[in-house]
Structure 1
Amino acid sequence: METNSRIYVAGHTGLVGSAIIRILNKHGYHNIISKTHKELDLTNQEAVERFFSEENIEYVFLAAAKVGGIGANNAYPADFIMENLLIECNVIKSAFNHNIKKLLFLGSSCIYPKHCPQPIKEEYLLTGPLEPTNEAYALAKIAGLKMCRYYKEQYGSNFISAMPTNLYGPNDRFDSDDSHVLPAIISKMEAAKKFNDPYVELWGTGSPLREFLYADDLAEACVFLMKNYDGVEHINIGTGLDLSIRNVAEMIRRIVDYKGKIVFDASKPDGTPRKLLDVTKIANMGWKPRISLEEGLKLTYESYLKTKQS
């Protein structure tokens, strides 16, 4: 992938896509193609095919997806599976039709079984039942990574897949009703601080263990894989470290400087008890994350405050 290669980043306005563009720019890639949802509806097969026929794309980072937290995934499973399948099918098929040089598909660690041995190796995929609250999203992501594998096996297409752990960072969705755990906690605590609320209520027991990766570290890994990996198997991307939701919430409380209490509502679902990726494969290839959780949370909080002020 040369600095003047024509690179399409699908989903460039989201957490992952915007980070990929930041890192590509940082490394001198200057021929980056992006389209907003209004400009290009990736669920529309005809529109996607027309886009690929017009743009002479060489490389694709497929980061576009319909995403949300436990509540959204649990409430709208039909929407999550349908929209994500359409996006994947349309982009991957058009990439094949127009002989692009390489595509990287981004999945999610929720593809692995709910009660998976820890840390989770790539080969544990499809060895047990999924977490029910995000099964629809996980099934769509499994289909996407398998699609990439099958195109590689049947046609020799250079389509690869990466499975990141839980992500956070600038440009995340901070709507506490439809967001992942870290941005939801940040927005709740900032609001509680503003209104002097005596406590913040969070879902679950606080006991689940989670691994978190800063979005720019993921983007660095994606560029690294695009340049260095052509294998059939998907590759885990993470830190290899996890922490309980309770401890993460305490860390965020210190960063936000919220003085109230944290109350956990055990009547709400916890999700998977533990989800730690085995990152041996990418580590052996020479990549590792650079940004610690505390540093990343500070950067994320600063970005959130700037967004609120703008």
Structure 2
Amino acid sequence: MKQLLYAIIYHPFINRVVRNINKALMPLLPSGVRIPPSGTLTIGLKEGSFKFKTNQTNYTTQMVFWKGPYAMEYTAIFEQLIRHCTCFCDIGAHAGYYSLIAATVNPNIRVVSFEPASGPFHYLEENIRINHLEDRVHPYKVALSNANGTTEFLEATHHKYRYLEHNLLAISNLKEYKEGRTMKKVEVPVVTLDKFLHETGEPFPDIIKIDTEGTENLILAESKEVLDRKPIVICETLYDKIESELEEIMGARGYHFYNHVNGKLLQVKSIQRQKDDGVRDCFFVHPAREPLILPFVA
């Protein structure tokens, strides 16, 4: 019965009505009463808009619907920065939020999107299709790492919304089980970024976003030819995980570290921390590329 109720509330048509009523009544309701969106949203930016198909398990679209796109991580910086780039590698693309921003605001960019998890990849392909971006956004259902072949991938399942064929939990990964979550093992192709680009003929990127739940260091360590070209690397940096490894890899190549803090980029000597200060993303920027980020530096 509960699954049937969820299926009704989160049916795209019904959810659109209910969530917009919820939004209109927001000033009168407790802060915890926020119905997640399910269906197709139109996400408006300063530089254009795009359609985004989602369901209620997607944290990104919950944030964007209730607080607007510029409350989501570094969207404001990314929207401006991507206009000056020619090729964007979205590693851990999920349902394609940053891939679609890139293609929307920069009509000349080529986007290469990597997502090994089946649910997010389904939505990634759908979002490319409904925005008619097949010629510029190229999705690949492959995991990047420091090896080539196949490997076990831990894919998250959603115990609350069991009726869903595709969930959008953003915790699937190559590395570890997430406490309190059900994870299933699936076999996925794995490849280094250098090898992938050589084999497919995709261009080398001048900007990379990488969010792979704790394996970012493995990917970057074997992206030697890519890093030789000094792309800007936007990387998730979870507290007390792999900061020292990331710092060693990127520091050895002369990169500077800019933490994303309160909508600005704050240069730091080290991304290692004594306690969790809430920083979740670092922009690794080579001095050759620093002029591009100067407008965003605190």
Check whether TM > 0.5. no
Q: Which has the higher helix share?
A: 1
TM-score by length of 2: 0.31
TM-score by length of 1: 0.30
| More relative contact order, 1 or 2 (CA 8 Å, 6+ apart) | 1
In proportion to residue count, which structure has more strand? Answer: 2
